[in-house]
């Protein structure tokens, strides 16, 4: 079996490529990354059992037909992912993310590879307390250029399923947890960093008691392998999240590890007054069981950071 991972050195990708040899022994794993974020250490200490090949390339320009040839599936993770940072940078973000998905999807059709397409629960902007994949289109109100582009990518992938593309579209909650290619620009990880470094948690002023979906990185990695193993490439959208929680819940959990931590409320260009829960029932109905835990994820992250600030 051959599996291709785009964005292979990123926060999610660097964990995925380490898990694939365990779930799919003997698989050839092609890792593609343009190294724009300079996460070279994601290639360090790869499992000896892995049959790896690394390709430094921009998927918008690479000869993907050749790279995808004979692949069972392509796990498409390559993207600019900073939602808050995407405000004021919409054109560049769409040019990168949408064009990357367009190129990857076309190459999957050409090669016959299945496509695991990563989307985001940030496409929701509903006033309803709980939202599912079947919500009306007018309840999809993305709050950032990043989320707007993700929704546009979803529409492209769904349209191409009518032209021979086999795809799974998974809307991931905000990732938390440790990986070799870890980043700290999203809520939980950023708060862990701030707490250990003696900084107040910078919470968006309207967000403290708003519920949002979060996804343990371990659950994310397992979900990707599960989709490939169960062949869930049916063109449907799946919400993938470990739990719904408020920022207050997260800050209280961090305070259990760093009791002196404080909260500082800040303004954000993508603030909104909405609070909602996202249902993951459709993905659970396929037989997947979420096993992640926000306390364990926060505890592990804080533990790894603590040695940097013991004075």
Q: What is the DSSP string of 114-180?
A: EEEEEEEGGG---SSSEE-TT--GGG---SSHHHHHHHHHHHHHHHHGGGT--EEEEEEPEEES--T
Give the pLDDT confidence score for residue 270 in this predicted structure. 55
Q: How far apart, in Å, are the Cα atoms of 305 and each of 20, 175, 200, 282, 298? A: 27, 17, 16, 36, 11
Which pLDDT tens digit goes with each residue over 119-131? 999 899 766 678 9
Give the pLDDT confidence score for residue 125 in this predicted structure. 76
Is the pLDDT confidence value at 267 over 80?
Answer: no
Is the pLDDT confidence value at 242 over 80?
Answer: yes
Supply the Cα-derived Rg of the chain in whole angstroms: 19
Is the pLDDT confidence value at 151 over 80?
Answer: yes
Is the pLDDT confidence value at 271 over 90?
Answer: no
2-176+215-242 and 187-211+244-277+292-306 have identical folds: no
Give the pLDDT confidence score for residue 174 in this predicted structure. 94
DSSP 18-64: HHHHHHSTT-EEEEEE--TT--GGGGTT--TT-EEEEEE--TTTS-H
Distance from C-alpha of 202 to C-alpha of 214, rounded to nearest angstrom: 18
Q: What fold characterizes domain 2-176+215-242?
A: Rossmann fold (3.40.50)
pTM of the complete model: 0.93
* Closest to 104 measured CA to CA, from 118, 88, 93: 118
Residues whose CB is less than 8 angstroms from the CB of residue 112 and which lie 6 or more positions away in sequence, other chains included? none
Max intra-chain CA distance, the chain? 60
- Tokens matching residue 254: 């961090």
- Tokens matching residue 248: 């207050």
Which pLDDT tens digit goes with each residue over 12-49? 999 999 999 999 999 999 999 999 889 899 999 999 99
Give the pLDDT confidence score for residue 203 in this predicted structure. 87
Average pLDDT value for the chain: 91
Give the pLDDT confidence score for residue 94 in this predicted structure. 80
CATH number of the domain located at residue range(s) 187-211+244-277+292-306 in this protein: 3.90.25.10
- Which tops the pLDDT comparison, 268 or 270? 268
Enumerate the domain spans of the chain. Answer: 2-176+215-242, 187-211+244-277+292-306
Distance from C-alpha of 136 to C-alpha of 126, rounded to nearest angstrom: 9
- State mean pLDDT over 153-159: 97
């Amino acid at each position: 079996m051959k599996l291709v991972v785009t964005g292979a050195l990123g926060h999610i990708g660097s964990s995925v490529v380490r898990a694939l040899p365990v779930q799919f022994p003997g698989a050839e794993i092609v890792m593609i990354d343009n190294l724009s974020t300079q996460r070279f250490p994601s290639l360090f200490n790869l499992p000896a059992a892995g049959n790896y090949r690394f390709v430094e390339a921009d998927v918008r320009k690479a000869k993907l037909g050749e790279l995808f040839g004979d692949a069972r599936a392509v796990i498409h993770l390559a993207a600019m992912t900073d939602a808050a940072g995407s405000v004021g940078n919409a054109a560049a973000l769409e040019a990168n993310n949408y064009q990357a998905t367009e190129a990857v999807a076309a190459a999957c059709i050409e090669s016959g590879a299945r496509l695991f397409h990563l989307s985001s629960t940030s496409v929701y902007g509903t006033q309803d307390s709980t939202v599912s994949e079947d919500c009306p289109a007018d309840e999809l109100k993305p709050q950032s250029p990043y989320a707007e582009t993700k929704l546009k990518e979803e529409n492209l992938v769904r349209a191409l399923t009518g032209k021979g593309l086999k795809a799974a579209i998974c809307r991931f909650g905000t990732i938390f947890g440790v990986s070799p290619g870890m980043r700290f620009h999203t809520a939980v990880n950023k708060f862990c960093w701030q707490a250990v470094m003696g900084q107040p948690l910078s919470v968006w002023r309207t967000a403290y008691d708003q519920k949002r979906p979060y996804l343990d990185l371990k659950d994310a990695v397992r979900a990707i392998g599960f989709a490939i193993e169960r062949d869930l490439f049916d063109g449907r959208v799946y919400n993938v999240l470990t739990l719904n929680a408020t920022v207050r819940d997260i800050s209280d959990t961090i305070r259990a590890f760093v009791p002196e931590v404080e909260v500082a409320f800040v303004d954000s260009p993508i603030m909104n007054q909405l609070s909602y829960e996202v249902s993951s029932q459709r993905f659970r109905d396929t037989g997947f069981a979420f096993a992640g835990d926000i306390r364990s994820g926060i505890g592990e992250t804080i533990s790894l950071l603590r040695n940097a600030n013991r004075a």
